[in-house]
Amino acid sequence: MRRALIVALWLAGAVACGVIVARAPYTGDLTAFLPRAATPAQEMLVAQLREGVAARLLLIGIEGADESALADTSRSLARRLRASGDFAYVANGEAALAAHDQAVLFEQRYLLSPAVDPARFSEPALRAALERALELLASPAGVLARTTLARDPTGELFALLAAHADRPQPPLREGVWFDPGRRRALLMAETRAAGFDFDAQAGVLARLAAAFEAARGDTSLRLLVTGPAVFAVESRRTVERDARRLALVAALGVAAVLYAAYRRAALVAFAALPVATGMLAGVAAVAAGFGTVHGITLGFGATLIGEAADYSTYLFAQRAPSEALAATAARVWPTLRLAVLTTVFGSLAMLLSGFPGLAQLGLLTFAGALAAGLTTRYLLPALVPARWSGAGDRAPPVTLDALAIRARRLAWLVPAALALATAVLALRGGELWERDLERLSPVAAEAKALDQSLREALGAPDVRHLVVVQAPTREALLQRLEALEPTLRALVERGVMRGFDTPARYLPSAATQRARQAAIPPADELARRLAAATRGLPFRAGLFAPFLADAERARNAAPVTAAELDDTAWGLALRALVTEIGGRPAGLVPLAAVADPAALAAAIGALADPAVVALDLKAEAEALVSGYRDESLALWAIGLAAIALVLAAGLRDARAVARVIVPVLAAIASAAAVLALAGVRLSLLHLVALLLVLGIGTNYSLFFGRFVPGDAARRRNAYAVAVAAATTLVAFGVLATSATPILRAIGATVALGAALSLVFAAAWAQPPAE
């Protein structure tokens, strides 16, 4: 009856978890492994990585033919992309697009031109403008002037374009953009889909590839596409591919080790139950707790395969000949329970993490280890038939026990290793820690090089230094940005930086636009001034009637809004430079080639305006990671304290607790020192991995240190630890082959730490005499 109840409860729990897992959404968003932003600036940084225009920008190159074929394909591809509806903006430098931009700007020129002021429409200024126009008409550059003269004799369109002449543009060949080497035609596109909407971005990229195939025809042209969306989609593919491969290979490897240990396929199948139950419960807990499950979380499940397989190993390998499995479970449960609880409590540091992704890993470990431990204790004895023995019916190898006994002669090695490793880590000092967020990226070096190449050729933003301005409304923001410009221009003149960009360049504040409207005289007054200005000049009567009509219309028009610029290069730039921080509008002012960051900070600080802040995004990212590292070290200490309390409650002997913890700490310190000596900078991921080592190594110390009467029982105990260590090393060794840096760092570190923990636990073990 009791067995039936246990099986029924397990089935009900498995079905419930299965339903949750089946319905859960899954993601590959690597920004889940960024820390929660601690400051408004860091919040802006993370938000831009996820949702900013830069995250939606695709940089496109076409290569593999002569200039003419490349240009034709560029034009064809651009037309197809604009017609697809997938893109808010597509640019390749061709005149048709430039004409559209110019048409929009021409209609709004009086409100957007920085040259418009009351003096602009005085008789002397009008006279001087008309004389300049005559000179321009007589020059080779007079083609555009002829088409706009009647409506724009003051040259507002030219003034507007000249204000942005310092923005880098790729060279034109055959009417479209090319790289300086003329090997690639270039395009730039902004997707409508958000940068973090990976399903939508994957669809866009697939349709882009199909559009290119149609555009290139039978030629051998090659398409090059880069940008954050490309990296994100490829990263998700890598993570998903890794998760499937790692889980399969780890499961097969662990199964092979267990079959070699048990020599009975049925027992291997039963050993899989704690593993499967732990994975199912862990993923279900993550889905219920976070709403989504990250692909890396599934890949991390490979760690549970090794950990949960250990629990059944400790049960099956400890079984004495003819002993009922339920009796074995009751006998080893006090030690096994401590092993489970140390892993469960050790995962608290991850669960409380400021990285949402790492918190998922902590919850997976917490729920998975607990479920696997309970399955081992109660379900396996209820299911495994009495006639199916464990490994205990065969004499375990004597050599393992002999090695464990001889290892105790090396007890001195544990404190020596701990002292030496601590010295190495202390000497490494500030060079010990990795602070670069980019090291989390699975993007290949070749892909990064391509991105940099296309970015430089297109003049796309690659910002490090910027000024962030906040305000309660968009209008107030634009006014603050306009007020900031004199300070920025002074910094350029002093050589502190080479230049800057600002949203107010593309969309002046409504107040500025109204001031420009006020500078335009009423129609009759402007007509009088114009008549006086044209006296004696060779312009026919009535030529400038369109100018008078446009000026009067602009004088009474509503201020230009961002929506009116949406499908232009102006609109793209504006979207890239205006965001939100904490629900309030914020303007980003990118700074070019900052030569003196200290002088910049001093100038911005002298404004005494807390809403205007100079940022070094690289330094901000490093501060973000460093702050979380400090938090993680504190949580790591909490995890260690929790494990120590669990051990103290279970062992009730301070010396016994020390004999369990000291070898593990020596292994952790030694693993960190080995990595440091190998030139590896320790990251947050290594801290997570070393926390896992703490749980795994504690298990070895517990079983090596438990009182086991009789030589045969002692051999079974040593055998159980050896098999458990083998499954752990296989599982984490597989993880170390991952293409995802997060998983690779965890796998390699845990494999090294687990191996050292096994040696040190055996060396430090001194169980009570029989």
Q: What is the pLDDT of residues 598-638, one digit of tens each?
A: 999 899 989 988 889 888 877 766 776 677 677 777 777 88
Classify residue 486 by burial, with Cβ atoms within 10 Å: 0-12, 13-18, 19+. exposed
Q: What is the pTM of this model?
A: 0.67
365-381, pLDDT tens digit by residue?
A: 889 989 999 999 999 99
- The span from the CA of 277 to the CA of 280, in Å, is 5
List, as own/partner pairs, every contact residues 382-389 make where C-beta atoms lie below 8 angstroms and the sequence separation is at least 24, other chains included: 382/2, 382/3, 382/6, 382/7, 382/326, 383/3, 383/7, 383/270, 383/273, 384/267, 384/270, 384/325, 386/324, 386/325, 388/264, 388/266, 388/267, 389/264, 389/319, 389/321
Average pLDDT over residues 347-376: 82
How much is the CA Rg of the chain, to the nearest whole Å?
34
Average pLDDT over residues 23-41: 62
Average pLDDT over residues 692-707: 81
Percent of the chain with pLDDT over 70: 84
DSSP code, position 30: G
Q: What is the pLDDT of residue 510?
A: 95
Name residue 248's amino acid. L
- Asked if the model's pLDDT at residue 770 lies above 50, the reply is no
Name the more confident of 407 and 92: 92
Across the chain, mean pLDDT equals 82
DSSP-assigned letters across all residues of 266-303: HHHHHHHHHHHHHHHHHHHHHHHHHSSEEHHHHHHHHH
Label residue 341 by pLDDT band (50, 70, 90): confident
DSSP-assigned letters across all residues of 125-160: HHHHHHHHHHHHHTSTTHHHHHHHTTT-TT-HHHHH
Label residue 167 by pLDDT band (50, 70, 90): low
- The span from the CA of 411 to the CA of 408, in Å, is 5
Percent of the chain with pLDDT over 90: 25
- The span from the CA of 509 to the CA of 521, in Å, is 21
Average pLDDT over residues 671-682: 88
* Crossing angle (nearest 10°) for helices 265-290 and 356-374: 140
Torsion of CA 481, 482, 484, 487, to 10 degrees: 150
- Asked if the model's pLDDT at residue 652 lies above 60, the reply is yes
Q: Collect all residues with Cβ–Cβ distance below 8 Å to 236 and sequence separation of at least 6.
A: 27, 28, 29, 198, 202, 295
403-448, pLDDT tens digit by residue?
A: 766 777 788 888 899 999 999 988 887 677 776 666 656 667 777 7
User: Residue 543 in 3-state DSSP?
Assistant: coil
Name residue 258's amino acid. L
- Asked if the model's pLDDT at residue 572 lies above 70, the reply is yes
- Asked if the model's pLDDT at residue 769 lies above 50, the reply is no
- Asked if the model's pLDDT at residue 563 lies above 70, the reply is yes
